Amino acid sequence: MVAVSLVAGCGHDQADRLYLAALDGEDTGMTREQQMANLDMAIQLRPNRAYYYETRAGYWISLREFDRALADLDRDIALTPRPYAYFMRGMALCENDQIARSLADFDTAIAKQPQNTQFYRGRALARAATGDTAGAMADAEELVHGEPQRGETWYVRGVVLALTGHDREAVADFDRAAGIRPELVYVVEARLQSLERLGETARVRADRDTLPAMREEHGGCAPCLDPFRY
């Protein structure tokens, strides 16, 4: 996610070696606590390297320690205000049920890097959740134009269509999303709600029967359960 920042310089000094060891921890059998300890030491040695804070924020998010994640992202942005850092903070705010606050970060990310379509996914969902359906649809169409191959794209537009009373069209988009990414539990959950409003009894029953097994199978996959994870 942020290892590319090393290209900018600094070299592989002790702080970077600790940072890289933390990144490699998934493959070397480290516990999350050991990865975090390496990052803590790296930050103590070189407290002005933004990418250390961004990586640690990702770990805090995985532990659902959002206050700590947001503090690290604040520091990350203060040091190096990259568009992705704003996007990441916006997504973390949404996961922490601070959706209205997230909009400024998504706006900033998009203003800085409008070609990065993933930023529109976050803002579309945040706009939808705060009642800005016109803005959400504009962002959803940006996604459809830029990333039609991604299941998340069709989920986002489906959410907006459902909010505006177009459940049949929403179901079509949820079907497309599920076809591309069948592991996304939240897609089936959203589709079930639209099918219930449409009175599609057989399909409602099928999704209700499917969801418990999906939740069990993908319970350890945070991005499968929460559209604000990535």
Share of the chain above pLDDT 70, in %: 95
The 10s digit of each residue's pLDDT in 35-92 is: 999 999 999 999 999 999 999 999 999 999 999 999 999 999 999 999 999 999 999 9
- Is there a contact between 112 and 86 (Cβ–Cβ < 8 Å)? yes
Q: How sure is the predictor about 101, in pLDDT bands with cuts at 50, 70 and 90? A: very high
pLDDT for 3: 43
pLDDT for 9: 45
- Is there a contact between 73 and 54 (Cβ–Cβ < 8 Å)? yes
SS3 175: helix
Residue 118, both tokens: 């993933």
- Contact residues for 79 (Cβ-Cβ < 8 A; gap 6+): 48, 49, 50, 53
Task: Count how many residues are written for the chain.
Answer: 230
Q: Vertex 173, ends 169 and 178: CA angle to 5°?
A: 145
What is the distance between the alpha carbons of residues 31 and 147, in angstroms, rounded to a whole number?
35
Provide the residue ranges of all domains of the chain, joining segments of one domain with +: 117-230
Per mean pLDDT, which of 3-12, 21-30, 214-223 is the most reliable? 214-223
Strand ranges for the chain from DSSP E: none
The 10s digit of each residue's pLDDT in 140-198 is: 999 999 999 999 999 999 999 999 999 999 999 999 999 999 999 999 999 999 999 99
Q: If you classify domain 117-230 with CATH, what class do you get?
A: mainly alpha
- Is there a contact between 132 and 105 (Cβ–Cβ < 8 Å)? no
